[in-house]
Every structure is written in structure tokens, then in C-alpha cells.
Amino acid sequence: MRKRSVTIDGHRTSISLEDAFWTELLALSGERGLSLNALVTEIDRGRAESGGNLSSALRLHVLGELKRRTISRA
């Protein structure tokens, strides 16, 4: 697990996340034509509604996307 810095709404913050999740977040941001910071900001805004910490929200977002893809292929 590594700490990385991102910018959310103009504010720098550090996030600890496993490399596999960072790799998937980068892939997801690229597929959507967003910067990683833009995707993380989007996820952070959704997290504000449900609570929880940002690292957990990022993991859940990746998991949700992977599950959605798996279901759509079935």
C-alpha cells in the first residue's frame, strides 16, 4: 500500500490505497476521458452523501465498476 497525493476541489490530500486499486482507477479515468483528480473528486462528492472515508469510497467504486462489467457480460 502506498500513499499518493491527489487534488480535490483545489485541495491536496493523501490517500493510502493498494496498487491494484490505483491501476484500476487510472484505467477508469482514462476510459471516461477524465484526469485521475477529476474522477477522485467525483467519487468524493458521492461519498459526502453516504459517509465513510475516501480510500474506502475509491475501493467500493472500483469494485462496483468491475461487478457492473461482469454482470453486463453474463
Cell of 62: 472500483
The model's pLDDT over 5-51, given as tens digits with 9 standing for 90+, comes to 999 989 999 999 999 999 999 999 999 999 999 999 999 988 877 67
The pTM score is 0.86
3-state helix, strand, coil in the chain (%, to 5): 65, 20, 15
